[in-house]
Amino acid sequence: MPRVQIEIPDPPANWLVALSSSHPEDEFRILASYPGESGTVGILEARTRNPDVIRKELDEVEDLHSFREMDSDGEVVIIEYRSPKPKMQRLVSESGTVPRYPVVFRDGTVTATQATSHAQLSELTDSFESAGIAYNIRSLVQSLDPNDLITARQQQFIEKAVDRGYYETPRRCTLTELAAEMDVHKTTAGDVLHRAERRIITEFVARQS
């Protein structure tokens, strides 16, 4: 199964994003997370030069149902917390993507590595885009199976585009003509092709690196 590292430079606001933004030199790592009775239970590792300040600020976070310190070793504090399920975690779960830990928060930016099929990655990134969440693909370790690179719908568009000569020079088919054959608006056809082309190119570049 492919592994993708995604960076979210401006994630949806929550208490941990706010905490990491307030302490840009510190690093906060979610080491584990699982569903609880009223949200999420997580294990957080805080790497900070000011552990007492972090403890005090956690006491003041309204979104935390509860937290307790499990261990402390100088500038590293391990905390178990209970909180509402974050929006990004909900999107990841709904896409069927399996999270890999740690998930790192630093200066308001989230970096996570996910184990996912290409179809699930497509659904996840589509969910991010629909929710207005910007993301960067920092690395992608590919599967050897080409069948899950793009969605079935994207494959239909690509195959039709190739068959009609859309990628030939000069083109034998315009985007408008292709959209008419697929019974969609021209903008929709262009968007589907763009998403498929992006994933195909990403796959090619990753395999060459």
Tokens for 23?
A: 């302490």
pLDDT for residue 87 is more than 50: yes
Q: What is the mean pLDDT of residues 19-48?
A: 91
CA distance 57 to 90: 25
pLDDT for residue 62 is more than 60: yes
pLDDT for residue 143 is more than 70: no
At 12, give phi and psi (nearest 5°): -55, 140
pLDDT for residue 193 is more than 80: yes
| pLDDT averaged over every residue in the chain | 86
How much is the pLDDT for 28? 97
CA distance 15 to 99: 20
Residue 9's CB is within 10 A of a number of other CB atoms, namely 13
How much is the pLDDT for 144? 45
Residue ranges per structural domain of the chain? 11-134, 150-208
Q: Which residue has the higher pLDDT, 21 or 197?
A: 21
Q: Which helix (H) or strand (E) is 175 found in, with range?
A: helix 175-181
Q: Which residue has the higher pLDDT, 10 or 206?
A: 10
